[in-house]
Structure 1
Amino acid sequence: MKKTHVRDMVNYFKLNVASGEAGLLREITVSDISRPGLEMAGYFNFYPSERIQLLGKTELSFFETLSADERIERIGRMLHEDTPCICVAHNLVVPVELMQLAEERSIPVLTSPLPTTKLSSKLTTYLESRLAPTTTMHGVLVDVYGIGVLLVGQSSIGKSETALELVKRGHRLVADDAVEIRQTQENQLIGNAPELIQHLLEIRGVGIINVMTLFGAGAVRNYKRISLVIRLEIWDPEKMYERLGLDEEKLKIMDTDVPQITIPVRPGRNLAVIVEVASMNFRLKRMGYNAAVVFSKKLTDTIEEAAEDI
């Protein structure tokens, strides 16, 4: 199970630590945010204590209507040992009872000037990114006509050279050699380069080049959703390769199936052009037009008509 720390979130959003600074290393293990309105009213039967607790105007205005004993009792039950932190939106004044008990239990109380809904959205997006399942694959990720294409295949098959040619043709490099992939809650795969090799491309015989320095900022991007996998392999004359494109191959990356195309490599084949065409054809399929299906239907109709004439 992936984890992050309250301190990382504080540094990312520049949050103010109002109390409980000693607990900044507390772990956050879920991306869901809780707004403990019912808990403020005394209902703790299903209290998600492991979540970040977000307080806005509604919760704190209700809290002010409680008696002193009720305030202490509710805050005491909210500040559970599993609770990573309390976030207060709108830079609202933090209740004294919350400040004191949070300091005693080392549970950070954080304040932000953002409205409650906006803060909740930003925190959720950040946590989903940090806590998403991740893996690393050997390959090259490029953005071709808006399609995230992951080139895979054995070492020295020509992945980096193909990526270089694509960059020269106006497309963008995301990652070379090692691609870090995270899976979002919507089962989308987002790829990026490790920080150490970001924007770098290795060409055998030339060495390591910086694509952004050579071709400009428009030739690279930091993240891209992986929509298509293209596997490059040495041409095998005894193997039957797809001729029509009716059968769709899939590659499972973590829990997500991604369409995959296998392209045989041999001298004389322009791989960059083939990758471009494969990407454009993939876009057409997503828009509802499949040339292979249309051709197959026409062929079937022609054969049926010929059979009727006989």
Structure 2
Amino acid sequence: MAEVTTKDIMEEFELALVNDEDSVAYRPITTSDISRPGMEMAGFFTYYPAKRIQLIGKTELSFYEQLSEEEQLDRMEQLCTYDTPAVILSRGMEAPQPLINAANEVGLPIFSTEISTTRMSSKLTTYLESKLAPMTALHGVLIDIYGIGVMITGSSGVGKSETALDLVRRGHRLVADDSVEIRQEQDGVLVGRSPELIRHLLEIRGLGIINVMTLFGAGAVRNEKRIGLAIDLEAWDQKKQYDRLGLDEDFMQVFDTGLPKITVPVRPGRNLAVIIEVAAMNFRLKRMGINAAEQFSERLTSVINESDTDND
């Protein structure tokens, strides 16, 4: 999981720091949840989510202004804790002096933005969910094939990078080679990208390192892609029974997401690029409700039933 600090969001959303920079500490943000402290303004701090960014809008501030001076001081002292990452005031509203004083006491940054409260909450949540998503790295190649992010895995030397090069030549786009950084942005959504060090690079045994963007142009690469399908390349095993109809469904587990997986045996003479290209197109058809294997199975069952009826 990447670390995000309050300074990162200040720079990302061009927030203005309200209190004295010398007295604040840019704290790490550990959750993408945002809190609008309406109940807290009313004095209910029993379940106060102190580790969330506190977003104060016009509603909260209007209620706060109706409180007595003693209540205002009490609310802000309880709102500003050492665990709270930041307080953000929307719509360019001016920060009350009790808030500034309480925040300075604990080194809490107060930001101001001209963006509306709801829009700021939405933008901030989306940004933090992306940055704080669980992340892992897997050995493989990620290619964008007809809009489907295809993760190609397999043992070293099986031909993943060579297949990727052939796919790029056929007009598809490389996302990552050798190492794919995968983050789970939400349930069922996996997004892959390349580590910065090897971005746009492809390693071909005998040739060495090649720069795909330099050779094939900017249209041959992309920085990240949602992963929809995993294809595992394995050396052909005469003793193993491979699925010939495509009725069996297999999955590759990444975090708590089951990624559809196809196992493709590799042996001399097989055009892997074409097979993977067709697999991606067939996967798209299945998502549209067209399953050739099931149609064939139903057709076969129908023929068998008709034959049995004729025999009777």
Same fold (TM over 0.5): yes
The corresponding residue for 2:9 is 9
- Contact kept, 8 Å, 2:40 with 2:79, in 1: the verdict is yes
**Counterpart residue identity of residue 96, structure 2:** P
Contact 1:149 1:228 survives alignment (8 Å): yes
Q: Which residue of 2 aligns with 1:85?
A: 86
The AA in structure 1 aligned to 2:146 is Y
For 2:88, give the aligned amino acid.
C
* 1:5 Cα deviation from its structure 2 partner: 1.8
| Counterpart secondary structure, 1:242 | coil
Aligned residue in 2 for 1:57: 58
Which residue identity lines up with residue 7 of structure 1 in the other structure? K
Render the CA deviation track for 1:219-276: whole Å, top value 9, x for unaligned: 1111111110000011111111110000011111121111100101111111111011
- Report the Cα offset of residue 94 of structure 1: 1.0
TM-superposition CA deviations, 1:147-204 (whole Å, max 9, x none)? 1100000111111111111111111111110000011232311100011111111111
Give the TM-score normalised by structure 2.
Answer: 0.96
Residue 19 of structure 2 aligns with which residue? 19
The answer for the alignment partner of 2:137 in structure 1 is 136
1:1-310 residue pairs with structure 2 within 5 A? 3-19=3-19, 21=21, 22-310=23-311
Question: Percent identity between the aligned chains?
Answer: 59
CA contact (8 A) 1:20 1:104 kept: no
Letter in 2 for 1:16: A
Report the Cα distance in structure 2 between the residues aligned to 1:263 and 1:191, rounded to whole angstroms.
Answer: 21
Aligned residues: 310
Amino acid of the structure 2 residue aligned with 1:174: V
Indicate conservation of the 8 Å contact 1:2/1:29, yes or no: no
Matched residue SS, 1:241:
coil
Are 2:56 and 2:90, in contact at CA under 8 Å, matched by a contact in 1?
Answer: yes
Aligned residue type for 1:185: Q
Could you tell me the TM-score, scaled by structure 1's length?
A: 0.96
Contact map agreement 2:26 2:109 (CA 8 A) in 1: no
CA contact 2:152–2:230 (8 Å) conserved in 1 = yes
Q: Is the 8 A contact 2:187 2:257 kept in 1?
A: no
Give the residue type in structure 1 aligned to 2:5. Answer: H
Q: Shift in Å at residue 14 of structure 1?
A: 2.4
Query: What one-letter code is carried by the residue in structure 1 that aligns with 2:118?
Result: T
Using the alignment, how far apart are the partners of 1:118 and 1:164 within structure 2?
43
Deviation per CA, 1:54-107, whole angstroms, max 9, x where unpaired?
A: 011111122222221111111111112221110111221111111111111101
Distance 2:91 2:202 in 1: 45
Instruction: Give secondary structure in 1 for the equivalent of 2:111.
Output: strand
Q: CA deviation at 1:11?
A: 2.4
> 2-side partners of 1:136 and 1:12: how far apart?
26
3-state SS of the aligned residue for 1:183?
Answer: strand
CA contact (8 A) 2:167 2:273 kept: yes
Counterpart of 1:154 in structure 2: which amino acid?
S
- Greater shift, 205-214 or 223-232, is seen at 205-214
Structure 1's 173 and 2: CA in aligned 2 closer, same or farther, altered over 3 A? closer
Cα contact 1:234–1:266 (8 A) shared by 2: yes
Q: CA deviation at 1:301?
A: 0.9
CA distance in 2, matches of 1:246, 1:218: 35
Partners of 2:32 and 2:253 in 1: CA distance: 25
Mind listing any 5+ residue stretches in structure 2 that lack a counterpart?
none
Query: Distance in 1 between the 2:89 and 2:210 partners?
Result: 47
* CA distance in structure 2 between the aligned counterparts of 1:219 and 1:71, rounded to whole angstroms: 58
Q: Which stretches in structure 1 are left out of the alignment for 5+ residues? A: none
Question: Partners of 2:20 and 2:140 in 1: how far apart?
Answer: 45
Q: Secondary structure at the match of 2:186?
A: coil
- CA apart distance, 1:2: 6.2
Question: How far has the Cα of 1:307 moved from its partner?
Answer: 1.1
